[in-house]
């Protein structure tokens, strides 16, 4: 497989989640990727062998204006933050429709402030430039972070080289990348 060079921030798309573009911070210090979600709700199902367990989660993805310079998709609900929001008041925020997605794990992750946090994990396709592959992503509240998604080293292993002096080296995903 051909390795690609990426910068410390990039655009990628999440086609299975119908997210055409999101700005991500590339973080080689983070083991697992993380996606900012809102309204996270586990969906449990009865299983005669294991009892009740979580098969899927429901959530919504929050995008900021800088996540998708091509324009926010029409199926997203848009609003401007007010003065009490953690987002800049001049930013345009968009919330995805509700997404229901299978869970592959529930694990403890140490957050950037060193606090362990239990998170749901999904496995989905990421598209970075013309390259795509499946990876695990934890679902978290990243409201106070500058980026709605963090790309961790597990997602990059043997696929990318990071040039921390550069930004946005990959072509931005086109709106046609996501159906």
Cα separation, 166 vs 68, whole angstroms:
19
User: Quick one: pLDDT at residue 70?
Assistant: 67
Cα separation, 73 vs 14, whole angstroms:
13
Average pLDDT of span 64-81: 72
Average pLDDT of span 62-76: 73
- Residue 1 predicted with pLDDT over 70: no
pLDDT band at 179 (very low <50, low <70, confident <90, very high): very low
82 touches 89 (CB < 8 A): yes
Cα separation, 36 vs 87, whole angstroms:
13
Average pLDDT of span 27-53: 80
Which residues, other chains included, contact 52 with Cβ-Cβ below 8 Å and sequence gap of 6+? 44, 45, 46
Q: For residue 133, list its beta bridge partners.
A: 126
What are the helix (H) ranges across the chain? 153-156
Per residue in 132-145, pLDDT (tens digit) is 999 999 998 876 67
Q: Give the residue, 174 or 61, on which the prediction is more confident.
A: 61
Q: Give the residue, 78 or 134, on which the prediction is more confident.
A: 134
Least confident of 4-8, 45-49, 122-126: 45-49
Average pLDDT of span 152-159: 93
Cα separation, 160 vs 55, whole angstroms:
31
How big is the CA angle at 138 (ends 132 and 143), to the nearest 5 degrees?
Answer: 110
CATH number of 10-171: 2.40.70.10
User: Quick one: pLDDT at residue 52?
Assistant: 56
Cα separation, 42 vs 100, whole angstroms:
9
Which residues, other chains included, contact 152 with Cβ-Cβ below 8 Å and sequence gap of 6+? 27, 30, 31, 32, 33, 34
- 57-71, 104-118, 147-161: which has the highest mean pLDDT? 147-161
pLDDT band at 178 (very low <50, low <70, confident <90, very high): very low
Which residues, other chains included, contact 72 with Cβ-Cβ below 8 Å and sequence gap of 6+? 63, 65, 78, 92, 94
- Residue 15 predicted with pLDDT over 60: yes
pLDDT band at 147 (very low <50, low <70, confident <90, very high): confident
Average pLDDT of span 74-99: 72
Tell how far CA 67 is from the center of its chain. Answer: 11
């Amino acid at each position: 497989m051909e390795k690609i060079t990426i910068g410390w921030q990039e655009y990628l798309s999440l086609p299975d989640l119908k997210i055409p573009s999101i700005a991500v911070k590339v973080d080689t210090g983070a083991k697992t990727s993380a996606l900012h979600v809102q309204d996270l709700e586990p969906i449990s199902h009865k299983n005669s062998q294991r009892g009740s367990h979580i098969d899927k989660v429901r959530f919504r993805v929050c995008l900021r204006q800088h996540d998708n310079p091509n324009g926010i998709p029409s199926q997203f609900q848009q609003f401007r933050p007010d003065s009490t929001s953690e987002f800049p008041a001049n930013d345009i925020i968009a919330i995805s429709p509700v997404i229901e997605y299978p869970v592959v794990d529930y694990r403890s992750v140490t957050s950037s402030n060193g606090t362990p946090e239990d998170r749901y994990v999904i496995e989905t396709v990421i598209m970075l430039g013309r390259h795509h592959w499946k990876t695990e992503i934890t679902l978290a509240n990243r409201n106070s972070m500058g980026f709605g998604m963090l790309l961790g080293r597990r997602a990059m292993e043997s696929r990318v080289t990071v040039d921390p002096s550069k930004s946005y080296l990959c072509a931005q995903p086109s709106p046609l990348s996501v159906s």
